[in-house]
Structure 1
Amino acid sequence: MGEPEVIVELKGITKRFPGIVANDSIDLKLRKGEIHALLGENGAGKSTLMSILFGLYQPDEGEIHIRGRKAVIDGPGRAISLGIGMVHQHFKLVQPFTVAENIMLGAEPVKGVSLDYRTAHDKVRQISDQYGLKVDPKAKIEDITVGMQQRVEILKTLYRGADILIFDEPTAVLTVQEIRELMQILRNLTAEGKSIILITHKLAEIMEVSDTVTVIRRGKVVDTLRTAETNEEELAEKMVGRSVSFVPVKKERAPGEVVLSVEGLTVGTGREKKQLDNINLTIREGEIVGLAGVDGNGQHELIEVLTGIRKATSGRIMLNGQDVTNRQTRDLMDAGIAHIPEDRHKHGLVLDFTVSENIVLGSYRDDAFGRGILLDSKAVERYAEKLVGEYDVRTPSVQNKARSLSGGNQQKAIIARELERGPRLLIAMQPTRGLDVGAISFVHERLLQAKAEGKAILLISFELDELFNLSDKLVVIFDGQIMGEANPAETDGEKLGLMMAGKTMHAEGRG
């Protein structure tokens, strides 16, 4: 029995942007009924390549063959007519519309002169049942979970007859349970004869669900392998060009003086539900305290109070022995607090500023960068180039706009800016979210280096492995309250999970 039919073949695809070759003579074959993973670091060229296949970009060189015939895909409409569908990382849904209304947009069935909603509803339900998607056609998008919204995006492609599906980083915003369900949906799709290209940098998912994996590094194909014949370590090394440590080396260090002391911190009054209720927290020099908890249990409010965005109702925040409760953000930065925010686009960068301008945000008033309102652009550029080199921020120039960088390089630029300000306390919220294994390793090394230099670090993450690997002490938050503390070396995910679900450490034994 021979190999399955080649459904998509990319031959010598090259795409250039100013200052960078995003895709450099790439070859790729997708066979019928397979899941073909496209693996690479942030900025390796994966999304660019798939945007070419979906008609969003045109290649400068190379050919695309669909089912053995050369195709010119000059736009998404042409791609859809060829049976290609793309599930984007950032969903393209109209929030007040229902599931069925979103799915039929642009492909509305008509009966006479009016829209045939019944036919659309029936078709959506039939496709949903066929592939195990379990989507309610009448539900409004604004009322359903992120995971369910993604299923609507999948349904949109199937409704239009796609049998070649491209998934761009589909698990970036999903919970563990939703990821598990998505993996099953992908299997259901290929069992029905669909062919899938899965763009990802999550090695565990590739090993679990893909048949073939193509590794791209800096715009070039490094290798194409059968997934069953490789492993995570080999793939990681091919992806970043060096061996990667999955578990950072955490050196024991005796914590020093207290840097941050939070005492009885409360947000909200008795008339309303308190977002934070009597929070007590201590972080010392050379200590990483990991805050564990299910998203939405007060983590965001705590960070907003510590960074001056939100006011505390009661309680005290002491930084280096000084009361800084309810100070302005600028005052807190000057007092020695740095912040790596969860959303690098909304709160970490000004995307239309240059890389150099972003790197001096927060320190542009320093004498080193000019006098009064005038910036010394040469001094700013020299400083930015120094940090870009030290933190391996990959950009053709520090004059490029921040939005042109990949997610991993945007994150490195933020970390460079915040650490080089020389803070006493670093607040890091989801510092490796959406990053590939190479960038994650780099961020972990920098956090541990900052700890070794005596900085106090509050690490908030929803990745338990990250918390266990980096933290000296774990603190669990549930419903705005601290449930308890734990030593990472003396506890496990199950015990931590009980506290994250609202049980105190002492309550476990009483069952």
Structure 2
Amino acid sequence: MDESTPLAVELRGITKRFPGVVANKDIELRVTRGEVHAIVGENGAGKSTLMKTLYGMHRPDEGQVLVGGREVHFRSPNDAIAAGIGMVHQHFMLADNFTVLENVVLGSEPTRGGRLDRATARRRIREISDSYSLGLDPDELVEDLGVGDRQRVEIAKVLYRGATTLILDEPTAVLVPQEVDELFGNLAELKREGLTVIFISHKLDEVRKVADTITVIRRGTTVGTADPRTTTARQLAEMMVGAELPTPATRESTVREVPVLEVRGLTVPGAGGGRAVVEDVTLTVREGEVVGIAGVEGNGQAELIDALLGLRLPSAGTVALGGQDITGWSTRRRRESGIGFIPEDRHRQGMLLEAPLWENRILGHQTRPPAGNGRFIDRKAAREDTGRIMRDYDVRAPGPDTLAVALSGGNQQKLIVGREMSAHPRVLLAAHPTRGVDVGAQAVIWELLKDARAEGMAIVLVSADLEELIGLSDTLHVMLRGQLVATVDPRSVTPEELGGHMTGGHHPSPAGAA
């Protein structure tokens, strides 16, 4: 990098400690004004902590933060915003029942005579939308927007507040390929207008496509920068993990003719008995089979998984496990009968963040060995088995008594995967099993799913990662507005074709009954 190049952001020797953990150690980061600068690293490498420091959510124990060449001392995100730093979080922070305008100006409302000046706000939002090709209608309700449009509302929020450097945290995690292309077009517009983007992602091919510079962080410290034009995704991955990655092996089908999970005509009503969120779904999952469910988020996949687990009651249809009707069974009975569950939202459905790891290890399994015998919990055995899972699944934490909240998202996910796989379920309901994990952990989880499949486990896989769905599925259904509208061959379908089905761009095929 030319030393005379103006820097938007510079971090010098940033160190951040938490009790028992050094999250960042002497990190260096130089982000040129007007570039897209990607930050990659394994989960637990310290990326999130570093960005929270830049955004004023943490204060560094050592080091300097410079914005535009001047040292700053942020005490809150408000200080960062005032200095031109904005952050778009992976999980959108929007009010569905508000319009685009109301969401964008919330907390920074222009007023006239003590009331919201809608005309001024509308004019400013249209200017931002036109300048950066965001295509937003200020008067549209957010609940009527797709995922890609919601993300553009989040971008408009930080631009409205005057941000000149945007931090995007896993911005493509929930987007289909067409939406990713649109986002990259938006980022090109931001660059053309002289804005700076810091792009955090685990999708290395996307990083190489969109970034001008890549900084790699490993175990809390900077290990180097890379030029995406001359560095392969595999080389980046090896920089992240500090070792050579194994070459993935091809696999043959292990699908057997024995049905394990059979769903017939399943319909799930919406909140308050409203329009069905799952409608007349029929599918079969056999031993040794991965059945993938593709769909833009919000099209009924989450509700389908909830119904299979017994968390939602259907208004019609049946669910059978091993030929036995379990439609009226409780969630606990289903779990004890061999249904494993990797939840979509690990914080809401999968963990107790303020509890130690050993307690999280036994969640959903507390009535069975090694943790329990149906009446009492064996804490010593639970701690010992948690230690085994930590070793076997590379969960990085001081020990079984560490609070779950102290772990990075990826390490939390590996604990959940280890917990569920250790129970050897007959059926595994895997909802976004690698969401928020790095390429190394993703490869481990994929291999675990493949091995379990080879041993006869039946798996229902819901994911926003089309590479994951295509690479792991034996049968692949597409869900749109609560219905299975197409069944495609994962061996031949392209991500673009799959994305077309997911967004309704193709004429739907008859609902796929396996």
TM-score tier, shorter chain, comes to 0.7 to 0.9
1:451-466 paired onto structure 2 within 5 Å: 451-466=453-468
Cα RMSD after superposing both structures: 3.2
2: CA distance, partners of 1:413 / 1:497: 31
Secondary structure, counterpart of 1:243 in structure 2: coil
For each residue in 1:159-200, what CA deviation from the matched residue of structure 2 results, as whole angstroms up to 9, or x when unmatched? Answer: 333222222222223343332222111111111111221122
Amino acid at match of 2:413: Q
2: CA distance, partners of 1:275 / 1:226: 45
8 Å Cα contact 1:133/1:151 also seen in 2? yes
1: CA distance, partners of 2:432 / 2:251: 19
For each residue in 1:127-163, what CA deviation from the matched residue of structure 2 results, as whole angstroms up to 9, or x when unmatched? Answer: 2222222223334444444433333332333233322
1:469–1:153: structure 2 CA closer, same or farther, 3 Å change rule? closer
In the alignment, which residue of structure 2 is the partner of 1:178? 179
8 Å Cα contact 2:340/2:428 also seen in 1? yes
Amino acid at match of 1:503: P
2: CA distance, partners of 1:332 / 1:278: 22
2: CA distance, partners of 1:261 / 1:16: 50
In the alignment, which residue of structure 2 is the partner of 1:395? 397
2: CA distance, partners of 1:99 / 1:503: 31
* Farther off after superposition, 196-205 or 149-158: 149-158
The answer as to 2:478 corresponding to 1:473 is no
1:400–1:9: structure 2 CA closer, same or farther, 3 Å change rule? same
* Farther off after superposition, 204-213 or 104-113: 104-113
Query: How much has 1:385 moved relative to structure 2?
Result: 1.0
8 Å Cα contact 1:248/1:444 also seen in 2? no
Query: How much has 1:467 moved relative to structure 2?
Result: 2.6
8 Å Cα contact 1:7/1:32 also seen in 2? yes
In the alignment, which residue of structure 2 is the partner of 1:200? 201
8 Å Cα contact 1:356/1:398 also seen in 2? yes
In the alignment, which residue of structure 1 is the partner of 2:150? 149
2: CA distance, partners of 1:254 / 1:146: 34
2: CA distance, partners of 1:478 / 1:149: 18
1:228-247 paired onto structure 2 within 5 Å: 228-244=229-245
In the alignment, which residue of structure 1 is the partner of 2:119? 118
Amino acid at match of 2:90: Q
In the alignment, which residue of structure 2 is the partner of 1:87? 88
* Farther off after superposition, 416-425 or 429-438: 429-438
For each residue in 1:376-434, what CA deviation from the matched residue of structure 2 results, as whole angstroms up to 9, or x when unmatched? Answer: 32222111111111111122222222233222222211111111112112121222223
TM-score scaled by length of structure 1: 0.88
5+ residue gaps, structure 2, are none
8 Å Cα contact 1:250/1:469 also seen in 2? no
Query: How much has 1:32 moved relative to structure 2?
Result: 1.6
* Farther off after superposition, 294-303 or 395-404: 294-303
Query: How much has 1:442 moved relative to structure 2?
Result: 1.1
1:441–1:253: structure 2 CA closer, same or farther, 3 Å change rule? same
* Farther off after superposition, 395-404 or 271-280: 271-280
* Farther off after superposition, 364-373 or 61-70: 364-373
8 Å Cα contact 1:337/1:424 also seen in 2? yes
8 Å Cα contact 1:478/1:502 also seen in 2? no
1:104-143 paired onto structure 2 within 5 Å: 104-111=105-112, 116-143=117-144
The structure that has the greater radius of gyration is 1
Query: How much has 1:273 moved relative to structure 2?
Result: 6.1
The answer as to 2:326 corresponding to 1:324 is yes
Secondary structure, counterpart of 1:290 in structure 2: strand
Query: How much has 1:357 moved relative to structure 2?
Result: 0.6
The answer as to 2:58 corresponding to 1:57 is yes
Secondary structure, counterpart of 1:229 in structure 2: coil
2: CA distance, partners of 1:46 / 1:106: 28
In the alignment, which residue of structure 2 is the partner of 1:446? 448
* Farther off after superposition, 10-19 or 393-402: 393-402
8 Å Cα contact 2:343/2:432 also seen in 1? yes
The answer as to 2:367 corresponding to 1:365 is yes
1:90–1:305: structure 2 CA closer, same or farther, 3 Å change rule? closer
In the alignment, which residue of structure 1 is the partner of 2:192? 191
Query: How much has 1:19 moved relative to structure 2?
Result: 1.5
In the alignment, which residue of structure 1 is the partner of 2:312? 310
In the alignment, which residue of structure 2 is the partner of 1:503? 508
1: CA distance, partners of 2:54 / 2:310: 46
2: CA distance, partners of 1:181 / 1:444: 28
Query: How much has 1:505 moved relative to structure 2?
Result: 7.5
1:101–1:228: structure 2 CA closer, same or farther, 3 Å change rule? same
Query: How much has 1:289 moved relative to structure 2?
Result: 2.7
2: CA distance, partners of 1:310 / 1:114: 43
Secondary structure, counterpart of 1:503 in structure 2: coil
1:117–1:189: structure 2 CA closer, same or farther, 3 Å change rule? same
1: CA distance, partners of 2:193 / 2:153: 18
Amino acid at match of 1:190: K
Secondary structure, counterpart of 1:369 in structure 2: coil
1:145–1:469: structure 2 CA closer, same or farther, 3 Å change rule? closer
Alignment identity in percent? 47
Of 340, 343, 350, the match for 2:352: 350
8 Å Cα contact 2:290/2:475 also seen in 1? yes
8 Å Cα contact 1:96/1:142 also seen in 2? yes
1:86–1:284: structure 2 CA closer, same or farther, 3 Å change rule? closer
In the alignment, which residue of structure 1 is the partner of 2:162? 161
1:436–1:368: structure 2 CA closer, same or farther, 3 Å change rule? closer
1:328–1:128: structure 2 CA closer, same or farther, 3 Å change rule? same
Query: How much has 1:371 moved relative to structure 2?
Result: 6.3
1:230-309 paired onto structure 2 within 5 Å: 230-244=231-245, 249-253=250-254, 255=256, 257-267=258-268, 279-309=281-311
8 Å Cα contact 1:291/1:476 also seen in 2? yes
1: CA distance, partners of 2:325 / 2:390: 35
1:251–1:192: structure 2 CA closer, same or farther, 3 Å change rule? same
For each residue in 1:209-259, what CA deviation from the matched residue of structure 2 results, as whole angstroms up to 9, or x when unmatched? Answer: 111000001111111122222121111111122334685632443626332
Secondary structure, counterpart of 1:364 in structure 2: coil
1:428–1:506: structure 2 CA closer, same or farther, 3 Å change rule? closer
1: CA distance, partners of 2:487 / 2:136: 40
The answer as to 2:389 corresponding to 1:384 is no
Amino acid at match of 1:366: R
In the alignment, which residue of structure 2 is the partner of 1:78? 79
1:166–1:289: structure 2 CA closer, same or farther, 3 Å change rule? closer
1:317–1:67: structure 2 CA closer, same or farther, 3 Å change rule? closer
2: CA distance, partners of 1:298 / 1:18: 41
